[in-house]
């Protein structure tokens, strides 16, 4: 390993390689409950060429590589399960191009969500990208590669749906492009070519290292508003979601069910965000949304919370620090969630199971969802806070998460960015042909199986 580290230093410079105990410790885990797995070293490349050199070197030495963006996945996907080197991509932080006419941006893999947001605010204030609920340090590339979702997901689907192309260093060191940029100088779409981007989406860094990618941008409205729909039972939610999405006005819809504050406990809320170029248009859109569920609100079983304009700001903050603050719910710096992609009609069942599990394990919970597309699917999350300093509490949360993962699969859902135990559950339930194909693809792309080994292994 010493020789390997020395050679890494010649590629990226001495300052950006470390095999010190401190880096190995910190990069051995993330904020979630998965146990640490220490890398032998950490490297921080600055260019695609450096990444390619690192990958070729790793093949030569048969050293595993674990690509990492913001490191905020919470489910332990950037742990070096079989040792090797964590490739921290955050030095590749250039916004390469913004095309306002075709509304896309090309960014390097280390560009953070906050970084692109700020860049667009300064240089292209009429454009925005879909921000996940992760802290601003999360990277665009990492989030897209795990099929993330965010504040424009009703409008544009999963963040991976917003991808327009990629530059990837293959596990064997070749640099390839997918999407229009493989033919054209422009990065406008993945169509009409064979969609090779799929080889790198949802694979948890086992098929290559993404070095830059194109993403869709959307109009950044001058006027923005939000509504909070509330109803009394989980059974009412699928119909409400269906109606609210049917007018196709919302940018984002996020149901939430929380035990605190006390007044909200037992009620079912949906935050609905929308924007417009003018106040008139904004009110028109609000009316459309409200009318969509008029037959429900007229029964008095549901309605929209009256929120004074001055209090709406905190609901419209993107990203919201409230998410990070949930980690301190037990004064312990930890939370993790099962986010399961599910059919929307499963909402009541998912809620009921979530409550059962929270009660069974006595965990501090927050349940909610993000609607994907015009009511096409949802990411239902079961978040549990824990005290990092209390090993029993961490274990309790881990057990609750594992049971939740199994419950989601039983409901026909699929855990998102699944922890290792959940990956194994998914693979067990997966069509055998699909599992075989995944394995064949990995063997083809990565004959030495050096890419984030341990993940997605049947």
Partner 1 sequence: MNAIAFDPDVCKSCPTVDCLMKCQYIAIADVAEARQEKQKINAGQDCRVLHECLTCYACQEYCPNGNNPFFVLVERQEELGLLPAPRPIVAEQLKMMAPKGRITKAPVATPVVNMCAFPMLTGSIRGRLFEGASVITGTDIFCNVMWLHFAKNSVIRERVPMAIDNIMSYYLKDSDVTDMVCFHDECYGTYTTLAKAYGIDVPFHPIHLFDYINQRLDDLADAIKPLNQVIAYQRPCSNRLAPGTDAVLDEIFKKIGAERVPRKYDRENALCCGGVPRAHQRDEFADDLVEKNIADMLDIKATYCVFNCPFCMATMAQEVAERGLMPILVSDLVMAALGE
Partner 2 sequence: MEYQEILHRCFRCGYCKFPSNYADINCPAYLSFRFETFAPGGRMWLLSALMNGKIGVSQRLGQIMFSCTGCGNCVEHCAMPDFRDQLLLAFTAGRDVILETGMVPGPVRDYLTKVQNSGNPYGKSGSKRADWRPGTDVAAYNGQEYLFFAGDVGSYDPRGQEIARSVAGLLKKAGVDFGVLADGECSDGNDVAMIGEQALFEELAEKNIKTFTDRGVKKIVTLSPHAFHAFKNLYPSLGGEFQVFHYTQLLAFFLGALSFQPDAETTRVTFHDPCFLGRHNLDYQSCRTVLSVLPGIELVEMDRNRKNAMCCGGGSGNLFTDMISGGDDSPARSRCREAHAAGATVMAVACPICAVMLEDAVKTEGLSDKLQVREISELVAERLAS
Q: By CB under 8 A, name the binding residues for partner 1.
A: 230-232, 261-265, 267, 283, 286-287, 290, 297, 300-306, 308-311
Taking the least distance from each CB to partner 1, the nearer of 185 and 308 is: 308
Residue 130 near partner 2 by CB under 8 A: no
Taking the least distance from each CB to partner 2, the nearer of 352 and 389 is: 389
Alpha carbons 420 and 212: distance in angstroms, whole number: 27
Residue 31 near partner 2 by CB under 8 A: yes
- Residue 193: which of partner 2, partner 1, none does it interact with, CB under 5 to 8 A by kind? none
Convert 127-177 into a string of H (helix), E (strand) and C (coil).
EECCCCCCCCCCEHHHHHHCCCCCCCHHHHCCHHHHEEEEEEECCCCCEEE
- Residue 14: which of partner 2, partner 1, none does it interact with, CB under 5 to 8 A by kind? none
- Residue 23: which of partner 1, partner 2, none does it interact with, CB under 5 to 8 A by kind? partner 2
> Does residue 119 contact residue 110 with C-beta atoms inside 8 Å?
no
Beta-strand pair 85-88/41-43: parallel
Residue choice 84, 150, 334, 413 for contact with partner 2 (CB under 8 A)? 334
- Residue 340: which of partner 1, partner 2, none does it interact with, CB under 5 to 8 A by kind? none
Spatial CB neighbours of 158, under 8 Å, sequence gap ≥ 6: 147, 148, 149, 372
- Residue 304: which of partner 2, partner 1, none does it interact with, CB under 5 to 8 A by kind? partner 1
Taking the least distance from each CB to partner 1, the nearer of 6 and 260 is: 260
What residues from 286 to 325 belong to the interface with partner 2 (CB under 8 A)? 321, 324-325
**In the complex, minimum distance from the CB of residue 311 to partner 1, in angstroms, rounded to a whole number:** 7
Taking the least distance from each CB to partner 2, the nearer of 122 and 300 is: 122
- Residue 133: which of partner 1, partner 2, none does it interact with, CB under 5 to 8 A by kind? none
Residue 153 near partner 2 by CB under 8 A: no
**In the complex, minimum distance from the CB of residue 240 to partner 1, in angstroms, rounded to a whole number:** 12
Residue 25 near partner 2 by CB under 8 A: yes
Give residues in contact with partner 2 (CB under 8 A).
Answer: 15-16, 18, 20-23, 25-27, 31, 42, 44, 70-72, 88, 90-91, 112-115, 117-119, 121-122, 135-137, 321, 324-325, 327-328, 331-335, 387-389
């Amino acid at each position: 390993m010493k020789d390997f580290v020395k050679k890494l230093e010649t590629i990226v410079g001495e300052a950006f390689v470390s095999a010190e105990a401190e880096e190995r410790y910190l990069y051995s885990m993330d904020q979630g409950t998965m146990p640490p797995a220490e890398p032998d070293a950490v490297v921080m490349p600055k260019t695609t060429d450096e990444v390619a050199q690192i990958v070729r070197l790793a093949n030569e030495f048969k050293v595993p590589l674990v690509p990492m963006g913001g490191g905020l996945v919470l489910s332990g996907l950037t742990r070096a399960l079989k040792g090797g080197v964590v490739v921290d991509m955050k030095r590749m932080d250039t916004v390469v191009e913004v095309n306002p006419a075709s509304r896309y941006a090309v960014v390097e893999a280390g560009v953070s969500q906050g970084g692109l947001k700020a860049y667009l605010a300064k240089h292209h204030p009429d454009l925005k990208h879909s921000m996940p609920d992760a802290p601003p340090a999360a990277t665009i590339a990492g989030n897209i590669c795990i099929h993330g979702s965010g504040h424009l997901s009703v409008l544009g689907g999963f963040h991976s749906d917003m991808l327009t192309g990629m530059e990837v260093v293959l596990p064997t060191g070749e640099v390839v492009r997918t999407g229009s940029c493989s033919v054209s100088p422009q990065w406008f779409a993945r169509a009409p070519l064979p969609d090779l981007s799929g080889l790198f989406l949802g694979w948890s860094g086992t098929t290559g290292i993404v070095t830059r990618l194109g993403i869709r941008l959307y109009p950044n409205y001058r006027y923005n508003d939000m509504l909070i729909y509330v109803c009394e039972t989980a059974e009412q939610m699928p119909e409400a979601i269906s109606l609210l999405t049917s007018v196709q006005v919302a940018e984002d819809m996020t149901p939430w069910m929380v035990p605190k504050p006390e007044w909200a406990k037992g009620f079912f809320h949906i935050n609905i965000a929308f924007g417009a170029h003018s106040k008139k248009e904004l009110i028109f859109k609000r009316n459309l949304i409200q009318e969509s569920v008029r037959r429900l609100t007229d029964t008095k079983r549901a309605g929209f919370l009256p929120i004074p304009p001055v209090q709406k700001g905190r609901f419209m903050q993107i990203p919201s620090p409230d998410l990070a603050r949930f980690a301190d719910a037990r004064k312990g710096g930890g939370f993790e969630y099962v986010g399961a992609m599910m059919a929307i009609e499963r909402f009541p069942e998912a809620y009921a199971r979530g409550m059962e599990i929270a009660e069974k394990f006595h965990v501090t919970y927050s349940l909610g969802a993000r609607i994907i597309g015009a009511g096409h699917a949802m990411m239902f999350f079961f978040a549990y806070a824990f005290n990092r300093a209390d090993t029993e509490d961490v274990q309790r949360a881990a057990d609750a998460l594992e049971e939740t993962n199994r419950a989601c699969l039983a409901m026909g859902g699929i855990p998102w960015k699944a922890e290792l135990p959940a990956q194994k559950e998914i693979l067990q339930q997966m069509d055998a042909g699909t599992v075989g194909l995944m394995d064949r693809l990995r063997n083809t792309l990565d004959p030495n199986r050096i890419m984030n080994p341990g993940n997605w292994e049947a």
